[in-house]
Amino acid sequence: MSDIFKELEEVTVEQYDHYDLPKWLADPVLLVARSPELYQGKEYLVEILAAQVREYDVYAEAGCCKWAYDHEDIKRTLRWLED
Amino acid sequence: MAIYLDCNATTPVEPSVSSVVMRFLEKDFGNAASPIHDYGVFALAAVEHARGQVAEVVKVRRDEVIFTSGATESNNLAIFGLAEEGIRSGRRHLITTAIEHKAVLEPFEEMARLGFDVHILPVGADGRFDPQRFADALRPDTFLVSTMQVNNETGVLQPLTEVAEILSNHDAWWHVDAAQGFGKGLEQLRHPRINLISISGHKIYGPKGIGALIARKHERQFPPLRPLMFGGGQEQGLRPGTLPVPLIAGLGEAAKLAVRNNNERAHKCRAFREQALATFLALGAQRNGAEDYTLPHVLNVSLPGINSDLAIKALKNVISVSSTSACTSHTHTPSYVLAAMGLSSEKIEQSIRLSWCHMTPDVDWSEVENILCALRG
């Protein structure tokens, strides 16, 4: 398995187990992480997804500046991965 | 084709960096400031991803990375961007060193013209400034300190850890020009006392025309920088203009690789250095700069009895090297860095800088030695 898929799995499990990443979002991300053969050539997007999961914040849209990622960002990247 | 040994002037581009740049030139060409459709949203996602990759190198937050066109612009933004605050606060004492790049020294000359009191620290024969002399130069009204991380001509690391200690009880702003060391020496730049860091993409196997100023926040506040350009509000208002997404994404990829492959790169560079050093020492060369503090990809030597211009021309089919920094080599003026280290004019005219990287192929050092021996003949 490519390092980036392994990294995506680790960070998603971490965010789900210990932080605020909801199951409905963690499940499709883990599906990507555990199916590297389906996403060959899309590693750049997987890298972005891993960064977004790592910096996931339920309240990313709150306040004046958006310096975290929220469920909309992750959903969008999942959609790009399927395009 | 000669083997390229001028990586301090600019590095080759990593293949994966080229791929990322091409992707955003050809296919995903959206404007990051137009996130009203997928083209723009994806461009913005790429920019923010790259910002995170750059931030990771020095362990800052993403919002502390301001993209610029390169280290020269970053240096100018750091120095002139603070000028107004210096004038407002009445603190006009500035400190820098004699071996800074022209992109720091010339802005400081301009700051002096604007009424600031500039103190330029000398360096020793080892190519480093003395932390004690820095401490002695520091005054209550010292407003800005600018010291480079690694000298571009000698590859010598400067005593930043000592400066951090000295500045721990002083509120001067501290800028570090890290054009040559960012992504190579990782730990130094992670020191939280450093307020501002200038970096450049094309020194870390990324594209030319992109860099960043890293502005560490203190108590959630940016250093009191003012923009040098206006119109658009990008980069938190500090650097307006349409973001060059391909270059930014390329810089991010280069930054990622700098962290991931740091040890492997250093190991390869050290092995190369041993061969280069052995060759030049056999020719009686004098090393310029303290060996213990020199990064593993640089060697600056003076070759007794051989003029560097002649040596560079004689070697041009075997290795491509330089005699001074890229930004001053076209002027044919002697190296002010080596002069500041106390080298004689003769030694300076005999100096050659070799700088390589993990992608540099093997060199036929016996051929290099033969050519130089014949030249001395």
Closest CA to A42 of A8, A81, A78, A12: A81
Please determine, for residue B326, whether its predicted confidence score (pLDDT) is greater than 60. no
Is A47 close to B49, i.e. CB distance below 8 A?
Answer: yes
Among A53-57, B190-194, B244-248, which stretch is predicted with the lowest mean pLDDT? A53-57
CA distance B253 to chain A (A): 10
- Nearest chain B residue to A68 by CA: give it: B62
Domain boundaries, chain A: 3-82
Window A:37-76, CB contacts with B under 8 Å: 44, 47-48, 51, 55, 65, 67, 73, 76
pLDDT tens digits, residue range B61-118? 999 999 999 999 999 999 999 999 999 999 999 999 999 999 999 999 999 999 999 9
Kindly provide the ipTM of the predicted complex, given to two decimals. 0.89
Of A44, A67, A80, nearest to B20 by CB-CB distance is A44
Is B41 close to A76, i.e. CB distance below 8 A?
Answer: yes
- Whole-angstrom distance, CA of residue B74 vs CA of residue B72: 5
Judge whether B327 counts as a catalytic residue: yes
pLDDT tens digits, residue range B282-317? 999 999 999 999 999 999 999 999 999 999 999 999
Contact (Cβ atoms closer than 8 angstroms) between residue B288 and residue B154:
yes
Closest CA to B286 of B307, B303, B308: B303
Is A73 close to B45, i.e. CB distance below 8 A?
Answer: yes
Q: Cite the residue boundaries of each domain of chain B with CATH code 3.90.1150.10.
A: 3-11+262-372
Q: Cite the residue boundaries of each domain of chain B with CATH code 3.40.640.10.
A: 15-260
- Whole-angstrom distance, CA of residue B112 vs CA of residue B11: 34
CATH number listed for the domain at residues B3-11+262-372? 3.90.1150.10
Please determine, for residue A55, whether its predicted confidence score (pLDDT) is greater than 60. yes
Give the predicted TM-score (pTM) of the model. Answer: 0.95
CATH number listed for the domain at residues B15-260? 3.40.640.10
- Whole-angstrom distance, CA of residue B37 vs CA of residue B318: 52
Identify the band that residue B11 occupies on the pLDDT scale cut at 50, 70 and 90.
very high
pLDDT tens digits, residue range B120-138? 999 999 999 999 999 999 9
Dihedral angle computed from the Cα positions of residues A3, A5, A8 and A10, in that order, rounded to the nearest 10 degrees:
-70
Please determine, for residue A1, whether its predicted confidence score (pLDDT) is greater than 60. no
Across the range A38-45, mean pLDDT stands at 96
Please determine, for residue B325, whether its predicted confidence score (pLDDT) is greater than 80. no
The whole-number pLDDT of residue A66 equals 66
Sort B108 into a burial class: Cβ within 10 Å, 0-12 / 13-18 / 19+.
buried
Which residues in chain B are contacts of A51 at CB distance < 8 A? 49, 52
Question: What is the share, in percent, of chain B residues with pLDDT greater than 90?
Answer: 94
